[in-house]
Amino acid sequence: MAMIASGIGTWLQVNRYGRVGSGLLSIQSVNFSFVTVMVALGSTMKADGMHVEAIMSTLLGISFVGAFLVVGSSLFCPI
């Protein structure tokens, strides 16, 4: 499923639709570098005595807010 999303992301980057897409070959790929950070954060929260539900909701909330920060910052980047 992640590879399908990567293919769709690459297709959207290559083909311009208004402000979406760069018009250049910019391959979107699957990246698992965030997993180490999430595991470290989760382990720290678990060591501090948080419940599993609170840890999961915190990590998913951080990911959710981070995604919108990336989208929002893209509006201010020079084209």
Which residue is listed with tokens 């999961």? Answer: 56
Average pLDDT of 44-72?
93
CB of 10 within 8 A of CB of 27? yes
| Residue pLDDT, tens place only, 5-55 | 888 888 888 888 887 778 888 777 778 888 899 999 999 999 999 999 999
**Model pLDDT, residue 12:** 85
Question: Distance between CA atoms of 8 and 3, rounded to whole angstroms?
Answer: 9
Domain segments of the chain: what residues? 1-30, 32-79
Question: Distance between CA atoms of 10 and 31, rounded to whole angstroms?
Answer: 14
Checking if the pLDDT of 79 tops 70, the result is no
